[in-house]
Amino acid sequence: MSSALLNHLNQERAAMATFLDLLDREAEALIHSRFDELQQITEHKAQLADRITTLEQERERRQQQAGFALTREGGDAAAAAGGSDLQLVWHDLLKRAAQARENNHRNGIMIHTHLDFVRQSINFLRAHGQSLYGADGKHKIGLGNGHSLASG
C-alpha cells in the first residue's frame, strides 16, 4: 500500500506543481495586461483543477480503505504509517496546496482590481462621454466653436 500511495502522492504533487506554474503564468499575464492569454490559462486551470480533484478523491479512497479517517489528521497518520519518504511527499504536497490557495487568492485580487478599474472607467465615460467624444467616437478637441486647435 505505501508504495502505491507514494506513487499516487507523487502524481498529485506533480499536478499541484503544474497548477502553481499556471497560477504564476496567470499572475504575469495580469501584471503585464496580457488579457488575451487569460482564456487559455483559465481553461487549462479548470482542467487541471478537475485532475487534482480526481487525484485527491482517489487518495482519500485509498486512505479510507487503509483504515484512516478522511481528515487532515487521517492523511498525516497514513503518511506516517508509510514511512519517511511518504511523509516527505505528503508534507510537500500540503505545502504546495497551501501555496496554490494563496496564489489563487492573489490572482483573484488582481482580477477584481482590474475589473474595478474597468467599471470605474466605463462609469466615467458614461457620465462624461457626451462632452469628450463626438458621434464618430473621436475625442473632441477645440475651443468650443467647433474648430479644433490643429485646424487653425
**pLDDT per position as a tens digit, 45-70:** 999 999 999 999 999 999 999 999 99
- Full-model pTM: 0.77
Q: CA of 8: how far to CAs of 16, 43, 146, in Å?
A: 12, 24, 73
- CATH number for the domain including 91? 1.20.58.300
The domain of 17 spans 2-137
Per-residue pLDDT band for 121 (boundaries 50, 70, 90) equals confident
Q: Tell whether 146 is covered by a domain.
A: no
Q: Total structural domains in the chain?
A: 1
CA 145 to chain centre: 52
Is residue 76 assigned to a domain? Answer: yes
Is residue 54 in a domain?
yes
